[in-house]
Amino acid sequence: MSTGQVEAAPGRGRRVRRVAGLIGALAILTAVGTAQATAASLPQLHVGSERIRDGSERQVLLRGVNDTSLTDQYQVNPNLPTVTPLEESDYEDMQSLGFNVIRLGINWSALEPERGEISQEYIQRIADVVHNAADHGMYVVLDMHSGGWGKYVATPPDEKCPKGLRPSHGWMGAPKWATFIGVKTTCHDDKTNKRTPAARQAWTKFWQNYSPPSWGKKARGIQDHLVTVWATLAREFAGERAVAGYDLLNEPDPGYVGHGLQRFYRSRFDRHAIRAIRRSERKAHGFHHLVLFEANLTWSQHGLASHSPEPGFSHDRNLVYAPHLYGRDVHSTARPLKGVKRDLHRQAKRITALARQYHTPWWIGEWSFSQFDQDSFKKMIVHSKIQDSMALGSAWWQWSVACGAPQTFDDLDPTPTHRVLGNINPTKCPEGTPRPRPKRWKGVIGRAYPRFSPGRIAKLRSRGQRMRMNGKSDCTPAKRSSSPKACKLVVWIPSSQRPKLRGHHLRNIRIQRQPGGWTATMSVRRDYTVRTR
């Protein structure tokens, strides 16, 4: 449209109740103080058997939130900030919800504000978020975010809008020097919103890798520049384990490119960006991070397959398909629950089928519902059940919205149109004062889940602190001795009271207090089951 070192007091061993077999001795360690994780505690990630895995080949679920605090957004009202910077309390709050990943929105306009000049200051700001997140046990996905092409498709003062249209403000994404709109109008109606003719023309020039004659015959095209930006980021974070991966381009608009050519253009950009990233990682003696690729913005209306890269566009082994799953409910508050449920299941089915053609896992880069929707909680339950049934990771959209963000305004009038912004952390505008979170949301967004699972997750269902999961592994006594971490299950459980665990084929259970809940760590044997309450 986005654990670690614990001072623990050893407890006495005790037996866990039997469900279908003997669960070995139970040792419970309750943390004394706040648990803080360091970057060293975050394992390096890769793709194996079409799942995200760590170095011990455990399946990893990345569940967290989108953050736009570093984005470079158009400012309609000069007195209202467009973003809310992350503070220490934000990281602590994210950790208390059990999040282990931040999908961090970053902008090309801030990375390369002048053609050919990369901002090291902005890269350092990105690095600061990565390190702060790691200190709270969270990975970061670097998301090249775009919306409405960028800041520089706003209606200039001297442009007269055609009849039925009104002036537009800008959004975020591309730099000014890469924005080519020709004679297309920047004005919009209620339907076009971000997709003005000017924005669509700018996207078309991007897909065509346009370079104006004034740059010279041998000049690189605008798309080549973004590929180089990705190469620079990959070099900077080549050895950083806290960076889970790179999301190449957020919800790219097809512009005026016809359906028949969209796959070609998407495949070409993604393939070139992946190759540039891998070259930089090798040169910097780093490792291959995950690379996430998405479907085009209009896929839910015009077809997932035609709006995504061609299967086989890249043979890289660490790719993750990451389209967003909204069930066509992203900007709505009144769609019936039945229709949203139907669309969510249909979209999830189509994404799963295409991910299998790519031979990749898929990850939900964005999902959310409006706090003003009276059925939002029921819709969230439907969504969470889909995630759990498919053992999917996800990132909620979004952490916070500032009162000066473009979506606060309908046009260039500096008076905010919307008085309350955001969903998980609502804000009253224009004062910028926080409002209470919607009731009951925490039990869905911050529900229990397995973070690191030996083998693979065969079945998962959770709500609040209650979770039931089945896992399949090849963990034997010999394997536990030779590779103990490969057989270690790690589960997040939100609860103010120490949770209770039951299951099969579990040993050496340790429970540690975390902000907002608990982390349960245990060794497993072969096929295993876990229940929390």
List pLDDT tens digits, range 202-240: 999 999 999 999 999 999 999 999 999 999 999 999 999
Asked if pLDDT for residue 33 goes beyond 70, the answer is no
Has residue 19 got a pLDDT over 60? no
Sheet of 433-434, strand order: 420-421, 427-428, 433-434
Cα–Cα distance measured from residue 80 to residue 518, given in angstroms and rounded to the nearest whole number: 39
- Chain segment 444-475, per-residue pLDDT in tens: 999 999 999 999 999 999 999 999 999 999 99
Domains of the chain: 8-42+452-532 (no CATH), 68-446 (3.20.20.80)
Instruction: Please give the pLDDT value at position 27.
Output: 32
Give the per-residue pLDDT at 82.
97
Segment holding 443, helix H or strand E: helix 442-445
Cα 228–chain centre separation? 23
CA distance 60 to 46: 10
pLDDT at residue 4, rounded to an integer:
28
For 100-149, the pLDDT digits (tens) are 999 999 999 999 999 999 999 999 999 999 999 999 999 999 999 999 99
pLDDT at 331 (0 to 100):
66
- Cβ burial of 370 (10 Å; 0-12, 13-18, 19+) is middle
Residue 329: pLDDT band by 50, 70, 90 thresholds?
confident
- So what's the pLDDT on residue 1? 54
Residue 25 has pLDDT above 80, yes or no: no
CA dihedral 239, 241, 244, 245 (to 10 degrees): 0
pLDDT at 18 over 90: no
Residues 6+ apart with CB under 8 A from 396: 64, 65, 66, 366, 367, 368, 424, 445
**What pLDDT sits at residue 5?**
27
The pLDDT of residue 523 is above 90: yes
Q: What is the pLDDT of residue 16?
A: 32
Contact call for residues 133 and 140 (beta carbons, < 8 A):
yes
Indicate the pLDDT class of residue 397, thresholds 50, 70 and 90: very high
pLDDT classification of 8: cutoffs 50, 70, 90: very low
- Chain-wide mean pLDDT for the chain? 91
Highest mean pLDDT out of 162-166, 433-437, 518-522: 518-522
Angle among Cα 441, 446, 451 to the nearest 5 degrees reads: 160
Which of the four pLDDT bands, split at 50, 70 and 90, describes residue 418? confident
pLDDT at 50: 97
Say yes or no to pLDDT of 15 above 70: no
pLDDT, residue 478, reads 81
Which pLDDT score, from 0 to 100, does residue 215 have?
Answer: 97
Beta bridge partners of 53: 46, 59
